Homo-oligomer: A and B are copies of this chain.
Amino acid sequence: MAQQTKYLLDESQMPTHWYNLVPDLPEPPPPPLHPGTGQPVGPDDLAPLFPMGLILQEVSTEQYIEIPEAVREIYALWRPSPLYRARRLEKALDTPAHIYYKYEGVSPAGSHKPNTAVPQAYYNAVEGIRRLTTETGAGQWGTALAFACSLFDMTCEIWQVRASYDQKPYRRSMMEVFGGVVHPSPSELTEAGRKILADDPDSPGSLGIAISEAVEVAASSDDVRYALGSVLNHVLLHQTVIGEEAIRQLEMAGEMPDVVVGCVGGGSNFGGLAFPFIRENLAGNLNCEIRAVEPDACPTLTRGRYTYDFGDTAGMTPLLKMHTLGHDFVPDPIHSGGLRYHGMSPLISHVYELGLMTAEARPQTECFDAGVRFARTEGIVPAPEPTHALASAIAEAERCRETGEEKVILTALCGHGHLDLAAYDKYLAGEVVDFEYPQERIDDALTRLPDPQV
């Protein structure tokens, strides 16, 4: 065959280090602040929730951090992940553009989330922690952490948003197959949960409530810690294996991208793909556009404010300087549960402010259309989240058809949609609608930003 489809690395070519973008930036990101004092948060403030190994990564200014061998041995169950040239999609689009996608759906949990779940479980395990708590909405993160904990013989306790717990029983089953203990949230197991249930016994829950429950349990016990699946520096750090591998695989293909495009919710998949390419841009080795795509219904980067806000709805976290729609903002019920976050990774927000990347928002029906076109040409049914990046990649390829440009487009297919088929079902039945996000709701939520505003 003349035309190559997949670019594979073998295990010996797996990255040995995670890449930390922070020291390469022209100025450092603003620090998180303690909401009471307005002072920067130090490692000790975070110790009740995270192991010191992860806290040191959170504040690290080292450019590269070695991946422990125990983590790399587990990564080898699915990494290096494949890079594909989407030749059949290109042909269907009749475009001169070259479209590549880095596929993270080959992981046991079906998404990029195990890239950070495994090291998070590992660093807790080496500090003697036997139990982790977390929250999950759509279920990808909970599945990944349950999988990771099973490998270190740790207990993983997951508060799953009640509505999702009831609507997506397969997700719960998958967490339980990996040995996870799943509670619908709000639950009777925490003060936060009991308080909500006292007010509303039928509460469908929210990510904010689930975070409160998981954090409460972790904070109240010395031998329990909490794990977060996105937003924070150490999480994005772990995900940089995606971009590092992609660079090596594109070298195999003899190409370098003109556009790197990823979907963005909390930012972990996008950062993992993009940061190594931003490094190459900053070093003058590349000059590619780095593009984040968010849902129209949750336009954090494109229409939010860059300011200090809470990371959770209940206001329990440190203040993070980021693009936010307001911490009590409730996005419309789009199917991309992983992109329904009011804020943004502070590091990505900072990179955006520095002008090192672009952002755009797209409506979900266009994204589902892209997902179906992708499935019918490339064979993989994508999760709804990465269809946002696919829609942008397809639009770029269609522009190239008009201009004749042979642009090289790289996108991250961060997960498969096997457990999201009910959403595709609704889309094919014409029941998926777009949400016009009203400016008044943004303006209103932003009136309730926390003090101090620094």
Contacts and interface: CB of A to CB of B under 8 A. Distances in A.
A179 B376 CA distance: 7
B421 A73 contact: no
A310 to B, nearest CB: 34
A249 to B, nearest CB: 12
B422 A5 contact: no
Contact of A425 (B11, B69, B78, B169): B169
A220 to B, nearest CB: 28
Contacts of A78: 379
A106 B108 contact: no
Interface string A184-210: 000000000000000000000000000
Given A77-B378, A107-B379, 20 more contacts: A1-B12, A4-B11, A5-B77, A8-B8, A77-B379, A88-B151, A108-B378, A108-B381, A150-B376, A169-B425, A170-B170, A170-B418, A173-B428, A174-B421, A174-B424, A176-B424, A176-B428, A177-B381, A177-B421, A416-B418
Given A1-B69, A11-B1, A106-B106, A6 B76 contact: yes
Tally of this chain's copies? 2
A379 B147 contact: yes
Given A8-B10, A10-B8, A11-B6, A381 B73 contact: no
Contacts of A88: 77, 151
A115 to B, nearest CB: 13
A316 interface: no
A170 B3 contact: no
A304 to B, nearest CB: 33
Interface string A419-441: 10110110010000000000000
Given A5-B76, A372-B177, A108 B418 contact: no
A417 to B, nearest CB: 8
A374 B114 CA distance: 17
| A interface bracket (residues with beta carbon within 8 Å of B) | 35 or more
A276 interface: no
A243 interface: no
Interface of A: 1, 3-6, 8, 10-12, 69, 72-73, 76-78, 84, 88, 106-108, 110, 114, 147, 150-151, 169-170, 172-174, 176-179, 372, 375-381, 416, 418-419, 421-422, 424-425, 428
Contacts of A169: 421-422, 425
A5 B74 CA distance: 9
Contacts of A77: 5-6, 84, 88, 378-379
A380 B147 CA distance: 9
B5 A73 contact: yes
Nearest to A4: B11
Nearest to A148: B379
Contacts of A73: 1, 3, 5
Closest 10 CB pairs of A and B: A108-B379, A173-B421, A418-B418, A5-B76, A173-B425, A170-B421, A150-B376, A77-B379, A177-B375, A177-B424
A349 to B, nearest CB: 33
Nearest to A176: B428
A108 B88 CA distance: 14
A119 to B, nearest CB: 15
Contacts of A378: 77, 108
B379 A418 contact: no
11 contacts: A1-B11, A4-B11, A6-B10, A77-B88, A108-B375, A108-B378, A147-B379, A170-B422, A173-B422, A177-B375, A177-B421
Nearest to A70: B1
Contacts of A421: 169-170, 173-174, 177, 419
A153 to B, nearest CB: 10
A379 B144 CA distance: 10
